Every structure is written in C-alpha cells, then in structure tokens.
Amino acid sequence: MNNHSNTSHTGVTPGNTQEQSASLRTMDIVGKGLSRRYRAEKRFRLYGITAILLSITFLSMLFISITANGYTAFQQTFVQLDIFLDPDDIDAQALQDANYQAMVKKSLRAMFPNVKTRGQKRQLYDMVSTGAAYQLQDYVRKNQQRIGSVVQLWVPADDDVDMLIKGHIPRDVPETERRIKDTQLSWIDSLQEQGRIEKRFNTIFFTGGDSREPELAGILGAVTGSFYTLIVTLLLSFPVGVATAVYLEEFAPKNRWTDIIEVNINNLAAVPSIVYGLLGLAVFLNFFGLPRSVPLVGGFVLTLMTLPTIIIASRAALKSVPPSIREAALGVGASKTQMVVHHVLPLALPGMLTGTIIGMAQALGETAPLLMIGMVAFIVDIPGGFTDPSTVLPVQIFLWADSPERAFLERTSAAIMVLLAFLVTMNAVAVFLRKKFERRW
Amino acid sequence: MSSSNLLLVLLMLTAGGYFLGRRRAFVLAGASGRGQQILHSRPTYYGALAALWCALPALIVFSFWRVFESNVVTQMVIAGLPPDLQNLPADRLGLIINDIRNIVYANIVPEEISPAIQAAADHYTRLQAISHATLAVMVTTIAIAGILWVHKIIAPGLRARNHVETMVKYLLIACSTIAIFTTIGIVLSVLYEAIRFFKIVPIHEFVFGLDWSPQMAIRADQVGSSGAFGAIPVFMGTLLISAIAMCVAVPIGLMSAIYLSEYANKRFRAVAKPLMEILAGIPTVVYGFFAALVVAPMIRNAGVSIGLDVSSESALAAGLVMGIMIIPFVSSLSDDVINAVPQSLRDGALGLGSTHSETVRLVVLPAALPGIVGGVLLAVSRAIGETMIVVMAAGLAANLTANPLNTVTTVTVQIVTLLVGDQEFDSPKTLAAFALGLLLFVITLILNVIALVVVRKYREQYE
C-alpha cells in the first residue's frame, strides 16, 4: 500500500511539468483545428436546415401539384342546345319512354346541318355527354307545360371537349395524336363564337355518384359512404376506447393481465392497416357472413384500427389529471366510480375528444383495409344507409387514379383536395379543442 | 322489425326503465315518511340499475342473434334443399346459396330461376322473417322483464350504487378485453387460412422459393399460369423499397429533429414543427397518387435524359415517396428521445470546450442512440406494412432484383391484388394472400416488440 502511494507520488512531479508543456501544445492544436471545427459546425447546421427545408419542399410540391391538377375540375364545360320538345315524341302520360337521346342528337344536327356522313355524325354526337339525355328527361318532368316548344338547355359537354376548352388537349399536335378531331375543333370554335360553350361551376362533381363518364362522375356517393362508415366507427370506438382507458388508468390492478393488455394495445397501434383488412375479411365477411362493401363492416374494421389511437390518447388525458383531484373526491366520500364520472372524466374529456378526432381523421383517410372488405366496388347509387353497398372517399380516389381518361386526373386531384379539406378541418377542430381546454396544473 | 327500429325501441325502454326505477325509489322514500334518508343510494342509482338490467341482457341477446342468424338461416335453407342440390360439391353449393341470397335481397337476379331455388329463396325469406320477429319479441321481453325485476327488488335497503358500480366495472373490463380479442382474431384468422395454404404449398417452397407467379390455371391445358409461390422475390421487393424509404427518411428526419430540438429558436420551431406534422396527416392514397403522377414520371424523365433505362413503376419512385411519408414519423420520435437526454450531458460537453455540433454528434446522439434505433425500427415496420403508395406506384411483376430503377412488387401489393374482387376461398391464390399477411404480421410484430423494449429501456435509463 505504502509502496504504491510512494511510486504514484514520485510519478506526479515529472508528470506536472510534462502536462504544462503539453498544454501549450494542446492550445496550439486546438487553435489550429478551430477554424476546421467551426466550419464543421456550420456544415452541421446547414444539414439540419436543409433537412427541414427539404421536407417542407416535398410538402409544398405535393400540395402544388395536386392543386394545379385539380382546381380546373371545379369547373365544367357546358354546351347550350336548342331542343324542340316535339309533342309527337313525348307522351305526357309516359314521360320516361320518350327517346331523349334522339332529341339531343336532333338538336345537334340542327346546329350543324351540313354534317352528313355517319362517321361525322358520330363525332358530332360525341361532343355532348350521354348525361344530356337524363338532364333533358329531368327538365321535361319538371316543366311539362314546355312540351311543344323549343327550350334552351345547358348540358355538360363530353370530357374530351371539356379537356380541350381547359387547354389540357393541345390544338397544335397532328390530328391522329389528338382525341379531338379537326372537324370537331371547327365545331367547337363555331359554338364558342356563338357563345354556346361556357365553363360553369361543376355542381355534378358535388352532387353525383360515381360514373364511367368523367363529366358525370361526382363524389357525393363516396362522401356519403365515408360519412356512414365514420359514424359507425365513432359510435363504437369512442365509448369502447374511453372505457378501456378508464379501466386501465383508474381501476385496473397492476398485474400480469393488465400488463398483457397494455403491451397488446401498444402493438396493435403499430400493426399495418392492411392486416386489419385481412381480419375483417376472414372474420366479419367469411365467418359471420356479413355483406360485402357495406359501411357497417367498414366501420367495424376501422373501429378496431382506431381503437389503439383513441385508447392511448385517452390514457394520456387521464394521466394529466392531477392526483389531488382524485384524492379530494375520495376524501369527501365519493366512491371510485363517482370520482371518475364526476371529476376525472370531465377534466380529461377535451384530451379524449382531441384524440378521438385525430383517430377519426386517420380513419377517414384509410384505404387499404377497406379494399379488403370489398368497398372498392363501382357503385353509382348514393348509399342510403349502413347496409347499402358503398365506397369511401379515399377508395374513390384510388379508383379514379386508375382510370386512363385525362379528365379523371383532374377529378382525382379535386377529390383529394376535398378529402384534405375535411382532414384539415378535423385537425383544426382538434387543435382548437386542445388550445381552448388545455389546462396546466 | 328492422334492427335499427328494434334498437330504438330498446333505447326508449331503457330510458323508461331509468325513470321507473327512479320514481319507485322516490315513492318508497315518500311512503316511509323519513324522505330519502332511508334509501341506501341516491334515487338515480335505482334508475340506473333498472336501465342497465333492461339494456345489457337484451343487447347481448341481440348481438349474438344477429351474429349467428345468417349462418343458421343458411344452414336451414341448405337442409331444406332437394337432395340432389345438397349433394353438390361445396363450391357449387356456395354459388347456389349466393343465387338464393341475390333473389332474397333483389340484387342481381339470375336470368333463369329454377323452381327449387325459387322455393329455397322463399324459404329463406320466411325463415328470416321468423327470425327477425322472434328476435324482436325476445329482446323486448327480456328488456321489460329486466325492468320489472329491478322494480320488484327495489327496496330502501337495496345497495343500488354498489350494484351499478360493479356492473360498470365489469363493462369496463369487457371493453378492455376487446384489444385482446382483436389480436386473437388477427392471429387466428390469418393463421387458419395460412395453414390451409401451407397444406397445398409446402412451407419451405413458400419461404425459400425464387419464383412468384400466383396466377393459377383455371383449365388444365392453360399455358403460362404455373402458380408458383416462392415468396423471396416479394420479400426482396419489400426490403428494397423499404430500404430506399429509410435512406430518405432517416437522414432527413434525424437531421430535422436535431435541428429543431438543438438549434432552432422558439419561433422557427413553432412554424416548422406543425408543417412537418402535416406530412404525417396526409392519407397514404394521396401519397400514392403523388408518386404515380409526379415522382415516377420525373424519375423516368431524369433517367432517360442521362441514358438510363428506368421503369415507369420503379422501386425508386415508390420508395422515395414512402420515405417522405415516414420523415415526420422518424423526426417526431427522434425529437422525443433527443429531448429526453439530460441537459447535464450537454453542459458537460460544452464546458469541456466542444462545439455545439460536436456535443450533438459525440454526446447527445450516442446517448440517444437506443431510442433512435427504436424509432427507426418502428419506422421500418411502418414502411413494410405501407400499402397504398406501393399499390399505386410500384409494380405487380415479382422481379428478383436490387436495381432501384426496376419494377419490384411488395408483400402488401400482392395481398391487395390477390384479394380484391370476387374470389373463391379455397384456391391457393387467395390463401397465399393470408400466408403473406401472416408473415407481414409476424415481421412487424417482432420489429415493434424490439423497438418498444429498446425505447422503454432507454426511457428508464434517464428517468
């Protein structure tokens, strides 16, 4: 022991002098390296800024490309037709039997009387949408007194005409590479001179169901489907999620069983959404025999998917309520349930609601599990209930994105804009709730 | 009576039960002459007890009935079919049942309806009507019986509050087990179909096979549909796209997290952080559209202009966009762990004369590494399970390649393409989707468990 301390003591004195000379050198080394190190520091900062700017650039690229593609879909080209409602053709007793398609064609022929050949006629008819006949039928049903007179009606133009007017089909390419032929171009020009072609606000897009014809396709069916699906999701996932969170936070004893539930919920939150789709397919459709493509089953699947989100958020909200509140309630003689219902829940509710809205926003944007349970079908009718076949907004976007027509491209982008608008609103409400009711104890 | 009407009636009965129970308690209190003092619980608890006993048993009966109704009715209809139809193989019988259902629900009615099937459809309608009527009667009876029973047992000494609280507690427990049942449901459903698949295709062929072409021959003499189920190309495709995504997401996400938590001032942070979180809230189908519409053509044009042959559904486009999607995920998780590193470590490093970036690189990051690794693992599991981007931007052809400019396919793409549309549930093609789903579930589960354990360990270290 003594020996050891001795050697260490004798070792110190020469070491000190060495360190002094070394410290001089260290200063030199530090000084030399300093500018390099400052450069590295600057570079590092630059990397950080670049990373953030990159992600913001990506974000703006995404928004700009979608808006640039989509804003034109909110307008649609309409053609004004003079249609003679011939009393010989329309039987007032059987309005639906009349051949409205023929009337539309007749009025087109009347506008361009020198069109003779079959091929040209077909090109002429192709300029207005097939939906024109249905629109005419609706008009006649509502205005029966007009039978026998000439009516002026604005009908939607075909999607190719629409694309040309909006400038998506270039005029200066050879005719064979263009979907609009030269004769059609001249007709469009003459119609434009007469003021018979006009871009108007596209109401069809907001009031129509899906369609194979881009100019007749709308999002109302998908929005309604999303609405029903989300209602089921909300009604199931909010009570169950809150109940689970309350049990785990307030009542559950700390034992193996609750540990399992907890780990389980954390894992479920990270299970890929498509696996929930497989679950829904195997359990709800194949085992329980529930119908395909309905909002009810979609709601079930999305409930299971959003439950972990809601539970985790609700537990965080319950955790943030200070124990003193609980102790005070118990102290004046409340039972545990009374303490939770009367004091803890009201204080935690804003946080729970925020979590639920975020979960709902997630569910609204979810596509993959719904593909599995058949909500990807082509459905024209607007669903009227929880068990009507329907699709949802993101799936509609997916379906339209697959369509080859140029006009569907802008409609897809516009549908995305609508979806993002819904999501932004939901998230804004969540942020507002959080800001308004957030309490720091 | 339709289900929604029945539920509405049940709701009204429950409300009625509540008021009856409460009034009964008031009446008893009034009759005693000592007012509410003689009651064990406050009157609302007596009402709540009546409401619970009215609603709960009826709801349980209702859901069980609805769950099993369709299967039972179908079985009974099959039993009522003529013997020659009953003896058909299972798939033909399934088609007939579908026809019958279509007639019943007046969907798409098949052109020619044989009398036997028409009779069966009538039988089906009749059975369903009987079942609905029985259910309606049973539910209302049970609900009313519940109210009457509680009404009868209400007495001043009845410990209504304790009863209600016990029932509420069991209700809460039941809700919390739903998470467990979800997991069990996932495992069982995927496992069951996967086992059926492995009976047809040996498991080693699936796991080690190099050829994936799930199109089965419908006729024996058909060419070009070998039905090979070797999953290696699919996995490699998934790994390739996930790796590209990670190459984008990890550096950008990590650097922005470092900048936001170590360098940025409050105002910059208040603007940049929500902006980055918007990226996390955008639905994946939008990213998919973006990838297919903007990024893929851009990469293709760039590749062509420097003389590279780029597929229009390149792995690079899908991976890149997936990476963008995951950036906020990586950055918010890293932000959390970097903030959890104690300030004293930073102070120590700065005090020794290191620059800010040296502190971050040599002290903060190593200290936060386990947490960051955990976050990255979670991000990887997300990338593997991501569906819509790859469905829309990656291809279907299962090429075994490491070239990011080629087309590859992923597990999720295959699941979607194999299962979307009407499928028979005994062909290896559809069952293969469940086998892929099982592997997907197992892989992501393992990644998540490791990540959660790592993150938890790390948190405990500094708490």
pLDDT of residue A96: 74
Report d(CA B204, CA B206) in Å as an integer. Answer: 5
**pLDDT bracket for residue B446 (50, 70, 90):** very high
The rounded distance, in Å, linking the Cα atoms of A393 and A102 is 35
Coil, strand, or helix at residue A136? helix
Using a CB-CB cut-off of 8 Å, the residues of chain B touching A247 are: 169, 172-173, 175-176
A51: tokens are 């990373």
Which residues of chain A have a CB within 8 Å of the CB of B252? 51, 54-55
Which of A323-327, A390-394, B223-227 is least confident? Answer: B223-227
Residue A7 binned pLDDT confidence (cut-offs 50, 70, 90): very low
What per-residue confidence (pLDDT) applies to B463? 60
Per-domain residue ranges for chain A?
2-71, 75-205, 220-437
Average confidence (pLDDT) over B207-211? 85
* Residue B357 contacts A where some CB pair is shorter than 8 Å: yes
Tell me, rounded to whole angstroms, the distance of Cα B164 from its chain centroid: 33
Chain B contact set for A66 (CB, 8 A): 286, 289-290
CB neighbours (10 Å) of residue A22?
12
Determine whether B256 is exposed, middle or buried from the number of CB atoms within 10 Å of its CB (0-12, 13-18, 19+).
Answer: buried
Q: Does residue A8 surpass a pLDDT of 60?
A: no
| Dist CA B238 CA B319 (whole Å) | 10
Contacts of A294 (CB under 8 A, 6+ apart): A386, A387, A388, A389, A390
Any idea of the CA torsion for A393, A398, A403, A405, to the nearest 10 degrees? Answer: 60
Q: How far is A90 from chain B (nearest CA, A)?
A: 31
> Is the pLDDT at B142 greater than 90, yes or no?
yes
**Between these two residues, A405 and A301, which has the higher pLDDT value?**
A301
Point out the least confidently predicted range of A54-68, A239-253, B94-108, B383-397: B94-108
Q: How confident is the model at residue B437 (pLDDT cuts 50, 70, 90)?
A: very high
Q: What is the pLDDT of residue B112?
A: 66
| Top mean-pLDDT range of A102-116, B78-92, B414-428 | A102-116
Contacts of B18 (CB under 8 A, 6+ apart): B47, B48, B50, B51
Q: What is the pLDDT of residue A182?
A: 83
Domain boundaries, chain B: 3-158, 226-462
Nearest CA in chain B to A310: B179
Asked if A244's CB is within 8 angstroms of B172's CB, the reply is yes
B385 CB near a chain A CB, below 8 Å?
yes
Half-sphere exposure of A62 (CA within 13 A, CB side): 28
A248·B416 Cβ contact <8 A: no
Task: Identify which has the larger pLDDT, A23 or B291.
Answer: B291
CB distance B180–A274 less than 8 Å?
A: no
Alpha-helical runs (H) found in A247-373? 256-269, 273-279, 295-319, 323-331, 336-339, 345-365, 368-372
| Residues B155-207 pLDDT 10s | 888 888 999 999 999 999 999 999 889 999 999 999 998 998 898 888 888 88
Of B262, B289, B331, the CB nearest to A412: B289
Q: In the predicted model, is pLDDT for residue A159 greater than 50?
A: yes
d(C-alpha A168, C-alpha A161), whole Å: 10
pLDDT of residue A33: 85
* Residue B282 near chain A (CB below 8 Å): yes
Query: What is the average pLDDT across A98-102?
Result: 83
Residue A14 has pLDDT above 80, yes or no: no
Q: What are phi and psi of A79, to 5 degrees?
A: -115, 135
Interface of B with A in 358-377 (CB under 8 A): 358, 360-361
Inspect the interface and report whether the beta carbons of A270 and B382 lie closer than 8 Å.
yes
* Cβ-defined contact of B165 to A40 (cutoff 8 Å): no
Range with the poorest average pLDDT among A296-300, A356-360, B43-47, B224-228? B224-228
Q: Which CATH architecture has domain B226-462?
A: Orthogonal Bundle (1.10)
Interchain proximity B293–A279, CB inside 8 Å:
no
pLDDT at residue A13, as a whole number: 47
Please list every residue in chain B whose beta carbon sits closer than 8 Å to the beta carbon of residue A364: 283
Quick one: average pLDDT of B214-223? 57
- The one-letter code for the residue type at A161 is V
Rg (CA), chain B: 31
Closest alpha carbon within chain B to A272: B385
- Interchain CB contacts (distance < 8 Å): A and B: 262
| Letter string b/e over residues A208-244, b meaning 16 or more CB atoms within 10 A of that residue's CB | bbbbebbbbbbbbbbbbbbebbbebbbebbbebbbbb
Q: Are B414 and B331 in contact (CB under 8 A)?
A: no
**Residue B313 contacts A, CB cutoff 8 Å:** no
Q: Which one-letter DSSP state was computed for residue B262?
A: I
Residues whose CB falls within 8 Å of the CB of residue B11, separated by 6 or more in sequence, listed in order: none
Q: What is the pLDDT of residue B10?
A: 93
Q: What is the pLDDT of residue A175?
A: 79
B190 burial (CB, 10 Å; 0-12 / 13-18 / 19+) is: buried
Distance from CA of B92 to the nearest CA of A (A): 17
B433 touches chain A (CB under 8 A): yes
Residue A18: CA count within 13 A, CB half-sphere: 5
Residue B269 scores a pLDDT above 60 = yes
CB contacts of A239 in chain B (<8 Å) are 175
Q: Is B230 helix (H, G, I), strand (E, B) or coil?
A: coil
Q: What is the DSSP letter of A292?
A: T
Please name the residues in contact with B347: beta carbons below 8 A apart, sequence gap of 6 or more. Answer: none
Query: B253, A260: Cβ pair inside 8 Å?
Result: no
Which residue, chain included where needed, has tokens 């449901």?
A: B185
B415, B386 Cβ separation under 8 angstroms: no
- Taking the CA of residue B232 and the nearest CA in chain A, the distance in Å comes to 20
Q: From chain B, pick out residues whose CB is under 8 angstroms from the CB of A56.
A: 272, 275-276
Counting every residue, how long is chain B?
A: 463
CA A427 to chain centre: 13
* Region A245-271 average pLDDT: 89
- Answer whether B288 touches A (CB < 8 Å): yes
- The residue to which tokens 């096979």 are assigned: B209
> For residue A196, what pLDDT is reported?
87
Say how far apart CA B130 and CA B1 lie, in whole Å: 11
pLDDT for B1: 56
- pLDDT surpassing 90 at residue B451: no
Residues in chain A closer than 8 A to B357 (CB atoms): 40-41, 43-45
Q: Which residues on chain B are in Cβ contact (under 8 Å) with A377?
A: none
**Which residue, among B124, B197, B285, would best test binding to A if mutated, counting the most A CBs under 10 Å from its CB?**
B285
Cα dist from B199 to A216, A256, B192, whole Å: 49, 36, 11
Residue A375, CA distances (Å) to A415, B97, B187 in order: 17, 22, 23
Distance CA B127, CA B119 (A): 12
Q: Does A423 sit within 8 Å of B281, measured CB to CB?
A: yes
pLDDT at A100 over 70: yes
Encoded tokens for A355 = 């979590």
List the single residue in A30, A337, A419 with the smallest CB-CB distance to B165. Answer: A337
Q: State how far residue A178 is from chain B, nearest Cα, in angstroms.
A: 21
The predicted model gives B95-124 an average pLDDT of 73
Instruction: Walk across the sheet containing A75-84 and list its strands.
Output: A150-156, A75-84, A197-201
Mean pLDDT computed over every residue of chain B? 86
pLDDT, mean over chain A: 86
In a mutational test of the B interface, the residue from A27, A46, A55, A412 whose CB has the highest number of chain B CBs within 10 Å is A55
Residue A191: alpha-carbon gap to chain centroid: 38
Say whether A279 and B253 touch across the interface (CB within 8 A): no
Band of pLDDT at residue A4, cut at 50, 70 and 90: very low
Q: Average of pLDDT values for A310-321?
A: 93
Query: Contacts of residue A420 in chain B, CB cutoff 8 Å?
Result: 282, 286
For residue B56, which of B154, B131, B159, B139 has the smallest C-alpha distance? B139
* pLDDT of amino acid B420: 80
Question: Is the predicted pLDDT of residue B416 greater than 70, yes or no?
Answer: yes
CB distance A289–B263 less than 8 Å? Answer: no
**A43 contacts in chain B (CB < 8 Å):** 357
CB atoms within 10 A of CB A190: 13
- Collapsing DSSP to helix, strand or coil, B389 comes out as helix
Q: Do A41 and B357 touch (CB under 8 A)?
A: yes
pLDDT of residue A174: 82
Question: How many Å apart are CA A221 and CA B224, to the nearest integer?
Answer: 40
pLDDT number for residue B107 = 59
In a mutagenesis test of the B interface, which of A35, A232, A274, A358 is the best target, namely the one with the most B β-carbons within 10 Å? Answer: A274
pLDDT of residue B110: 57
Collect all residues with Cβ–Cβ distance below 8 Å to A423 and sequence separation of at least 6. Answer: A361, A364, A365, B281, B282, B283
Predicted local distance difference test score (pLDDT) of residue B43: 86
- The CATH architecture that domain A220-437 belongs to is Orthogonal Bundle (1.10)
B249 interfacial to chain A (CB closer than 8 Å): no
pLDDT digits (tens, 9 = 90+) for B333-381: 899 889 888 999 999 999 998 999 999 999 999 988 888 998 999 999 9
Cα–Cα distance measured from residue B327 to residue A149, given in angstroms and rounded to the nearest whole number? 64
Distance in angstroms (rounded) separating the CA atoms of residues B398 and B386: 18
* A289 has pLDDT over 80: no
Q: What is the pLDDT of residue A10?
A: 43
Residue A95 has pLDDT above 60, yes or no: yes
The per-residue pLDDT for A107 is 87
